[in-house]
Amino acid sequence: MQEKNLLEVEGLSKSFLGVMALHRVNLSVRAGEVHAVIGENGAGKSTMMNIIMGDLKKDEGKISLKGKPVEFKSPADAIAAGISMIHQEISLVPTLTVAENIWLHREDVFMKGLFINSAARKEATDRLLEKMGISVKSTALVSELTVAQAQLVELARAISSNAEIIIMDEPTSSLSDKEIAILFKVMRDLKEKGVAIIFITHKIEELLAISDRVSVYRDGCYIGTRSCARTTKDELISMIIGRTLTEQYPQIHAKIGKPVLEVKNLSGEAYSNISFTIHEGEIVGFSGLVGAGRSEIMRGIFGIDKKLGGEIFVNGEQVQIHSPKDAVRHGMAMVTEDRRDMGIIQSGSVKENMSISTISDFCGKLGIVNVAKEQQAVEDMMKKLSVKAANMNMLITSLSGGNQQKAIVGRWLMTEPKLLILDEPTRGIDVGAKAEIYRLIGKLAEQGMAIILVSSEMPEILGMSSRIFVVRDGSIVFECESADATQELLGKHALG
C-alpha cells in the first residue's frame, strides 16, 4: 500500500552554538494518520517542529509539503500553508475570552462593516466546542480556565483553522484521563477527515493507543519509524534510550517510622476537611483528576496559598504555616507542579538555583557567602543526583527539562527535609530521567524521608507509593494500600 506523503522531511540538520541539535533526520507524514514522534528530552523533536513551522532556520536538508519543497520564514507562513501547531506551553491571551482567543487574527470571518459580529462569533465557538465535547463557556476568560481547559481551547483553535497538518507538542502533559479522552476523540475525528496529526509525547501507552505510526529520535538522530500495530512498548523504549530498560520502578524497602506530618480538617478555597497522616519512610501517592484540588492541598500545607482552617502537626507538634518560609523551617520541602512558574529562577545559574534555600548555611559574618563552601555543596549534590550540566555557573534554563527538575530536587535535598512534597515531579521529562527520579525517591524513602507524591500518571502512583489517596472535588474520597490498588479502582474513585 503506497500512500502519498503529505509532509516529507529529509536529511534535516541544525546546530546551536556549535552543538548539533539535529543530524540528518527524516520524517514522513501521510494524510489521515496520527504520526507519533517520540524521544528523550534533547532528542531534537521540538527543534525539528520549530524548523517545520518556520520558527527556526535549518542548516541543511529538505522539507516538502505535498511533494513541493517549502521553506517557511515564520509560523504565519506555515499556518497559511495549512500547518498548525499546539505548543506545550499555553499560548492563549489570558485577558481575552475563549471565543476571542479561538478566532484571534481571523476576526475577518465575522466582520460586519467595521465591527466584529460577536454574536456570530460566539455561536460559531459554541458549535465548535460542543462538537468537540468541551464543556467550557465561550464567554469565559482564559485566565479563569484550568490548565487542562486552556489546552483544549488551544486544540479548538488549531482545529478551527482547518489545518491539514496539526502538530501537537505533548498535548496530554497537563490533562487528566477525562480530557485525554476528549482529545483522542477529536484526534480520531480529524483523522477521518484526512488531517495528519504529528503527536509529540513522552507517554508510550498513550502513543500506542492512538497513533498509526511512530518515529523515534535520539540525541538529534533519526532512529526509525514503526507501525504501531506491529511494535511493542519494550521495542520502543529500547529505541528511545538505546538500551533495554528492565524495571522502571525501583523496589523500595523502607521502614515505616513515626508520624512526620499530620493534617487535620484542613480547608482552603478549592478543598475542605482534608485529614491524613504521613510517616517516616512512607511514600504517599495523591491521585485524582487535574483540577480535583490535589495541588491546592499541597500548596496550602506548604503555605504558598492561604488556608481557611484546619490544623497541621509536624513531629507531633502543632505548627502555624503562613508562608513557605515557615514550612521550610519545619523541615518541609516542595517541588511545585509548574517548574517555570514557581520552580526555577530563570535569570540564575544552576548553582544559584540549587543553593538558594540553604544559602544561610554558607554565610559568614555580614551575610557574605562563602563561595567555596557553596560550590562544594552544590557540586556534591549535582554528583549525587547526576545533574548533567557543563558547569554549575551555566544558566539553569540552558539545561534540559529533566536536569532542571533534578536541580530543583537537589535544591530541596540540600535543606535535608523530613518531608518532601513532589507535585508532578516527572511531568515533561524523558524516560531516562524519570527512572532516575524514581530511584532517587525510593532511596530517600529508605533513608527515612516522608514523601508525598502528587501525580496524574496512574502507573507512577501505583509503582511508587506505599499508600494512595484519591482526591475528587477537593475531598479525599478514597484511601488504600498500594498492594490493593489497581488503575481501574483509582480511576473509578477519581471520576466518582
Partner 1 sequence: MNNKALIILIIFVAVVSCLTGDFFTSRNISNIFRQICASCVLSLGFTLVLGSGAIDLSVGYMLGMIGIATALMAVNNVPAPVVIVSAILIGGICGFCNAFLSLTFELAPFIVTLAMGMVYQGINLLMCHSKSIANLPDWYKFFGNGKIGPVPFAIVLMLVMVIIVMVMVQKTKFGRYALACGGNRKAARVCGISTTKITYAVYILTGVCVGIAALLLTGRTASAQTGAGAGMEMDCVAAVVIGGTPMEGGKVNVFGTLIGCLLIQVISNSLNLLGVDSNWQKIAKGAVIIVAIILDRQGSKLLDRIRVRKIQMEAE
Interface contacts to partner 1, rule CB under 8 A: 17-19, 302, 304, 323-325, 327-329, 334, 336, 341-348, 352, 355-357, 359-360, 363, 366-369, 371, 411, 415
Cβ atoms of 162 and 275 closer than 8 Å: no
Nearest CB to partner 1, comparing residues 54 and 324: 324
Nearest CB to partner 1, comparing residues 341 and 484: 341
How far apart are CB 366 and partner 1 at their closest, in Å? Answer: 7
How far apart are CB 61 and partner 1 at their closest, in Å? Answer: 19
| DSSP codes of every residue in 169-224 | ESTTTT--HHHHHHHHHHHHHHHHTT-EEEEEES-HHHHHHH-SEEEEEETTEEEE
Nearest-angstrom CA–CA distance, 121 and 204: 38
How far apart are CB 326 and partner 1 at their closest, in Å? Answer: 9
Strand order in the sheet with 213-218: 68-69, 60-65, 5-16, 19-30, 221-227, 213-218, 34-38, 196-201, 165-169, 83-86
How far apart are CB 325 and partner 1 at their closest, in Å? Answer: 5
Nearest CB to partner 1, comparing residues 302 and 438: 302
How far apart are CB 29 and partner 1 at their closest, in Å? Answer: 32
How far apart are CB 57 and partner 1 at their closest, in Å? Answer: 14
Task: Find the angle CA(246)-CA(400)-CA(303) to the nearest 5 degrees.
Answer: 95
Nearest CB to partner 1, comparing residues 208 and 304: 304
β-bridge partners, 217: 222
Nearest CB to partner 1, comparing residues 106 and 340: 340
Q: What are the grid coordinates assigned to 73, written together?
A: 520564514
Q: DSSP class of residue 256?
A: P
Q: Can you tell me whether residue 112 is helix, strand or coil?
A: strand
Q: Residue 137: phi, psi to the nearest 5? A: -75, 135
Nearest CB to partner 1, comparing residues 125 and 336: 336
How far apart are CB 350 and partner 1 at their closest, in Å? Answer: 13
Cβ atoms of 496 and 290 closer than 8 Å: no
Nearest CB to partner 1, comparing residues 366 and 483: 366
Inter-helix orientation angle 118-132/147-160, to 10°: 110
Nearest CB to partner 1, comparing residues 18 and 113: 18
Cβ atoms of 164 and 83 closer than 8 Å: yes
How far apart are CB 149 and partner 1 at their closest, in Å? Answer: 21
Nearest-angstrom CA–CA distance, 360 and 339: 24
How far apart are CB 327 and partner 1 at their closest, in Å? Answer: 7
Q: How many CB atoms lie within 10 A of CB 283?
A: 25
Cβ atoms of 454 and 424 closer than 8 Å: yes
Nearest-angstrom CA–CA distance, 360 and 454: 30
Nearest CB to partner 1, comparing residues 114 and 366: 366
Cβ atoms of 434 and 425 closer than 8 Å: no
How far apart are CB 437 and partner 1 at their closest, in Å? Answer: 19
Q: Tell whether the torsion through CA atoms of 66, 72, 77 and 79 is positive or negative.
A: positive
Nearest CB to partner 1, comparing residues 113 and 367: 367
